[in-house]
Amino acid sequence: MTNKFYHMLLLPMLFYASVLQAQKVPSPKEFFGFNIGDDYKLTNYTQASAYFKKLAASDRTKLVDIGLTEEGRHQDMLIVSSPENIKKLARFKDISQKLAHANGLTDVQAKSLAAEGKSVVWIDGGLHATEVVGAHQLIETMYQLVTRNDEETLNILKNDVILLTHANPDGQELVSNWYMREADPKKRKMDVPRLWQKYVGHDNNRDFYMMNMKESQNISKQLFVEWIPQIMYNHHQRGPAGSVLAGPPYRDPFNYVFDPLIVTSIDAVGAAMNNRLNVEGKPGYTQRAGSQFSTWWNGGLRTTPYFHNMVGLLTEIIGNPTPETVALVPDRLIPNGATPNPVVPQQWHFRQSIDYSVSLNYAVLDYAARYRSQLLYNIYKMGKNAIDRGRSDHWTFYPKYIDSIKTAYAKDKKAAKKDSSRNQSGEFSFGREDTIPNKYYTAILKNPVNRDARGYIIPANQTDFPTAVKFINALLYSGIQVQKATADFTIAGKKYPAGSYIVKTDQAFRPHVLDMFEPQDHPNDFQYEGGPPIRPYDSAGWTLAFQMGVKSDRMTDAFNGPFQVVPYGAIQSPPKQNLAAAAKAGYLLSPSINNAFIAVNDLLKAGVEVFRLPKGVAGTPNGPGTFFIPASAKAQNVLVKEASDIGLKVSGIAETPAAVVKISPLRIGIFNTYGGSIPSGWVRWLMEQYHYNYTQIYPQEIDGGNLNQKYDVLIFVTGAIPALGRAEATAGEGGPGRQPKADSIAAEFRPWLGKITAEKSIPQLKKFMEAGGTIVTIGTSTNLAYHIGLPVHNYLTEKGANGKERPLPGTKYYIPGSLLKASFDTSEPANYGMPAQNDVVFDRSPVFKLDAGAEAKGVKRLAWFATDKPLDSGWAWGQKYLKDGTAAFVAPVGSGEMYAFGPEITFRGQAQSTFRLLFNQLYSNK
């Protein structure tokens, strides 16, 4: 075919194709009937998803269904690039993966792949569904990228593969339908009756190292296993007052396990975003200390990528379909490094936020197009650095080591002063007080004992191995390379069985590995020396292995064995178990294995009798509270299945044990409120995972009384019960937010309105317990103890100037989300299955002092802080005040009971090692 002939053929075809494309891709206005960003207009996910299918007709796109949501919708990702690139997506994905993993590549090979590859940029929207700019800017950005033919757009399409992902379809459906249901635009509001993610609402952005929710799993698979983009941009809404948006770079502290290139790359892309708005005359961008956002925490959609060497971007922008006003915040009007171009007070329309968002997306995409090969090479470089660090002796400098240096130096200096023979001259006379001799560096920061781990072994013979497998799966969802032993092996004299898992740190995502296994060491962060603490953006410490109670051995020397690499993202099942043969009298299940509670609930539902053994079985690993199930065909049916399906270890027993206590299921009520309580949603999810039946109970039903008729046990999570002296729980305490007027919502939602009040609700709760009911309170809801006058007080107080007790001030004591070691009385039925010491999630949690004579009144201490240094991970300023404080107790109330757990024992579905502190209370033993 000659060139001439080819052109003759091709030209009309091209012309035809572009006409076809113009016909196939309607504008948002043509499709939805309004422009994205018009006042008082929102589109739901059903419509948006139908529009994505229209856009998918363009040869610039490929539509991908990344999985089902919790409510069963298909979650869409639209890939946009040039038509040439779209044909070669498999190749570009492969290059992206190879460079991100950095494994087995030379620098030369990496350079060559970086030259060939395309920048992969993730942009999402809609994660927090009431932040409606998110989902709507995504639609507008898609439309512009698919239809614009300007030079910049074409250059972006040529150099970038763009992953435009809807982060929460269920939420957009709920919120948009709710807002648009009012015919009168002025009446449209976002006050939705329930959480905008089936279980966890806003906490859908707190799930990205755990991946409990289906949306988190779908997203993580694309981010960490499939595409591994070099840049990911997570859109949120609510700019700090007096600004239009908060964006990158963010304030300190950043996490010590990051590669420095992450921090400087966030600076670079942030500058491109901020710069572009200034060129376009769009003021109001605030960065660094201008907002609360930092890069310390792992677990957010934006932050988990840092631990995978990805440049994670977050913007929090103002804007609403109902026009609003930019507030006057006088201090924000003076330009400074945080806010170089302040915005002035004015009315603000939705479309302005859409335009800002598209500009910001274009800034990121343009940056990615211009620095394409550098971005690709840099993610390789970070991965390579990580592999090198994991393959040699390496030390991460944590604040605790810096403190050790300072302490050691101060001690030596004091000793030297006493010793007159070593006077002023010599090693302690430096011009600057903060300059100290290098020997401290060598002695402490290069101490072999303080080396980073080369890897971790998770032995298959640990008691709750099925939970360890859940932990391994969280790593696999996150793209971590995991190995599995194919045979027994011995390392450093210790024997490990086949099936044990190994996670080495000589891998690209080493920061994430360290973060999941090692304690976080948050710096002491105060507004000024001696001043109040600066609240971290989220948790200060979260080590997942600790929260889940996973046992692992930390290896600081190179090690090897009969290890087989598990394919990236290949989710594991616990090893199938067989039912023990010697089950003449019956079966035993250890309450130290979380999955045992699934089996117990299934057995009870099948009508099988289940007992507990208060003293366990002497001479076996089955400790206090072991479940005993008499042998029967029915029991065997259930147990054979669960031993295989959920890896449950069931042992047999030849003789019926002497002391047995029969248990039966309770009728469970979980507190909830209009708008939805997030911690309550997590408990609801947990109940379903562990096969409990439950009902949700709202304040109006509580106020109505007669609770014993319908419930045996009620669960109150943080935020439900108001503080003593307050009429009702406030949103600030984690309680319900603003609620609509009853006549403005449909009748079906009206029973959900209301709050727990001291006046009406608390007396009913007291009556419920007096008549034999059980109440389990968690976190701030332990306030109930004070309302009903139990003989306990706040432990964390001091005497003020007037001689009266007052809470310890933040300058002396402050513990944001962290993991603390608590002690447990393992013979107490409430604690069955707990070890004597275990980490608890502590988040400014209540701590109690039992009054003199409390024990005589039947109050029992369940958990306490035994030392003055209980911190295991995070930040605990003034932790010495916790020593001997009570973390949990149970008290009789009439013929019923109240349980108080100060720590967050069900925290975000992560604190697996303390779930049984709730589960144990959900059976009757009467």
Residues 376-395 binding Zn ion (CB under 5 A) are none
**From 75-83, 127-135, 387-395, 422-430, span contacting Zn ion (CB under 5 A):** 127-135
Please, which residue, 246 or 891, has the CB nearer to Zn ion? 246
- CA–CA–CA angle 526, 878, 523 (5° rounding): 40
Q: 3-state DSSP helix/strand/coil percent for the chain, to nearest 5?
A: 35, 20, 45
3-class state of residue 346 by DSSP: strand
Q: How far is the CB of 238 from Zn ion (least distance, A)?
A: 7
Please, which residue, 221 or 236, has the CB nearer to Zn ion? 236
Q: How far is the CB of 132 from Zn ion (least distance, A)?
A: 11
How many other C-beta atoms are found inside a 10 Å radius of the C-beta of residue 614? 15
**From 130-138, 400-408, 461-469, 647-655, span contacting Zn ion (CB under 5 A):** 130-138
Please, which residue, 201 or 591, has the CB nearer to Zn ion? 201
Note the residue count of the chain.
Answer: 926
Q: How far is the CB of 167 from Zn ion (least distance, A)?
A: 10
Please, which residue, 98 or 128, has the CB nearer to Zn ion? 128
DSSP β-bridge partners for residue 458:
501
Q: How far is the CB of 232 from Zn ion (least distance, A)?
A: 15
Q: How far is the CB of 544 from Zn ion (least distance, A)?
A: 23
Residue 767 and residue 787 in contact, taking contact as beta carbons nearer than 8 Å: no
Q: How far is the CB of 236 from Zn ion (least distance, A)?
A: 3
Strands (E), 592-724: 610-613, 626-630, 651-653, 661-665, 668-671, 695-697, 713-716
Please, which residue, 317 or 850, has the CB nearer to Zn ion? 317
Binding mask of the shown chain, residues 294 to 333, with x at each position contacting Zn ion by CB under 5 A? ----------------------------------------
Tell me, what amino acid is at 413?
A: K
What residues have CB less than 8 Å from 830, skipping those under 6 apart?
862, 888, 890, 899, 917, 920, 921
Which tokens is 897 given?
A: 């009971």
Which tokens is 508 given?
A: 């690209």
Which tokens is 918 given?
A: 């709730």
Please, which residue, 128 or 282, has the CB nearer to Zn ion? 128
Residues 796-815 binding Zn ion (CB under 5 A) are none
Would residue 704 be called left, alpha or beta, if left means φ above 0 and alpha means ψ between -120 and 50 degrees? Answer: alpha
**From 111-119, 135-143, 231-239, 671-679, span contacting Zn ion (CB under 5 A):** 231-239
**From 59-67, 129-137, 747-755, 895-903, span contacting Zn ion (CB under 5 A):** 129-137
Q: Which helix (H) or strand (E) holds 408?
A: helix 399-418
Q: Which helix (H) or strand (E) holds 162?
A: strand 160-166
Q: How far is the CB of 904 from Zn ion (least distance, A)?
A: 21
**From 128-136, 156-164, 579-587, 607-615, span contacting Zn ion (CB under 5 A):** 128-136
Please, which residue, 235 or 649, has the CB nearer to Zn ion? 235
Q: How far is the CB of 78 from Zn ion (least distance, A)?
A: 22
**From 7-15, 140-148, 230-238, 625-633, span contacting Zn ion (CB under 5 A):** 230-238
Please, which residue, 131 or 521, has the CB nearer to Zn ion? 131
Cα 783 from Cα 766, distance rounded (Å): 13
**From 124-132, 329-337, 427-435, 663-671, span contacting Zn ion (CB under 5 A):** 124-132
Q: How far is the CB of 34 from Zn ion (least distance, A)?
A: 24
Please, which residue, 70 or 316, has the CB nearer to Zn ion? 316
Residue 667 and residue 687 in contact, taking contact as beta carbons nearer than 8 Å: no
Please, which residue, 130 or 298, has the CB nearer to Zn ion? 130
Computed on alpha carbons and rounded to an integer, the radius of gyration of the chain in Å comes to 29
Please, which residue, 125 or 574, has the CB nearer to Zn ion? 125
Q: How far is the CB of 550 from Zn ion (least distance, A)?
A: 30
Residue 632's Cβ-count burial label (10 Å; 0-12, 13-18, 19+) is middle
How many other C-beta atoms are found inside a 10 Å radius of the C-beta of residue 22? 11
Residue 805 and residue 849 in contact, taking contact as beta carbons nearer than 8 Å: no
Q: How far is the CB of 190 from Zn ion (least distance, A)?
A: 13
Q: How far is the CB of 169 from Zn ion (least distance, A)?
A: 16
**Is residue 128 part of the contact set for Zn ion (CB under 5 A)?**
yes
Instruction: Name which position in 41, 214, 221, 236 contacts Zn ion (CB under 5 A).
Output: 236
Which tokens is 354 given?
A: 């859409």
**From 111-119, 125-133, 572-580, 727-735, span contacting Zn ion (CB under 5 A):** 125-133
Please, which residue, 273 or 482, has the CB nearer to Zn ion? 273
**From 122-130, 182-190, 691-699, 767-775, span contacting Zn ion (CB under 5 A):** 122-130
**From 121-129, 307-315, 567-575, 660-668, span contacting Zn ion (CB under 5 A):** 121-129
Residue 266 and residue 251 in contact, taking contact as beta carbons nearer than 8 Å: no
Q: How far is the CB of 316 from Zn ion (least distance, A)?
A: 7
Total site size for Zn ion, rule CB under 5 A? 3
Which tokens is 130 given?
A: 């009431």
Position of tokens 């002491």?
A: 524
**Is residue 349 part of the contact set for Zn ion (CB under 5 A)?**
no
Q: How far is the CB of 130 from Zn ion (least distance, A)?
A: 9
**Taking Cα atoms as reference points, which of 44, 62, 134, 169 lies closest to residue 358?**
134
Residues 726-755 binding Zn ion (CB under 5 A) are none
Which tokens is 370 given?
A: 């211009």
**Taking Cα atoms as reference points, which of 869, 845, 866 lies closest to residue 796?**
845
Please, which residue, 60 or 302, has the CB nearer to Zn ion? 302
Which tokens is 113 given?
A: 């792949």
Q: How far is the CB of 237 from Zn ion (least distance, A)?
A: 6
How many other C-beta atoms are found inside a 10 Å radius of the C-beta of residue 645? 15
Please, which residue, 131 or 515, has the CB nearer to Zn ion? 131
Please, which residue, 319 or 342, has the CB nearer to Zn ion? 319
What CA dihedral angle connects 901, 904, 907 and 910, to 10 degrees? -80
Q: Quote the distance between the C-alpha of residue 579 and its chain's center.
A: 36
Binding stretches for Zn ion (CB under 5 A): 128, 131, 236
